[in-house]
Amino acid sequence: HLTNVRSSRGDMEIRLTPPRMMSLDEAVEYLADDELLEVTPESYRIRKRILATEERGKQTKKIKEQLEEA
């Protein structure tokens, strides 16, 4: 049975850290092995090479298996 009453979230507060402002060199140094740096005239964006979480997991598992064989 559904009602139109919503729970109160007054006691929950989410605080986000502000984004870091980096130079191009700092952004390149900050990258992990599985990330890419998208460069546009107005900004730099760091994102994962493989966007789908499931595909990233498969790729990670595949790399670990290759390292164990070597």
- CA 62 to chain CA centroid, Å, is 20
- Nearest CA to 25 among 37, 13, 17? 37
How far apart CA 13 and CA 31 sit, in angstroms, is: 30
3 has pLDDT over 80: no
Domain locations in the chain as residue ranges: 24-69
Strands 44-48 and 35-39: antiparallel
Structure confidence by residue, pLDDT tens digits, 17-57: 998 899 999 999 999 988 999 999 999 999 999 889 899 89
Cα–Cα distance for residue pair 36/19, rounded to 1 Å = 17
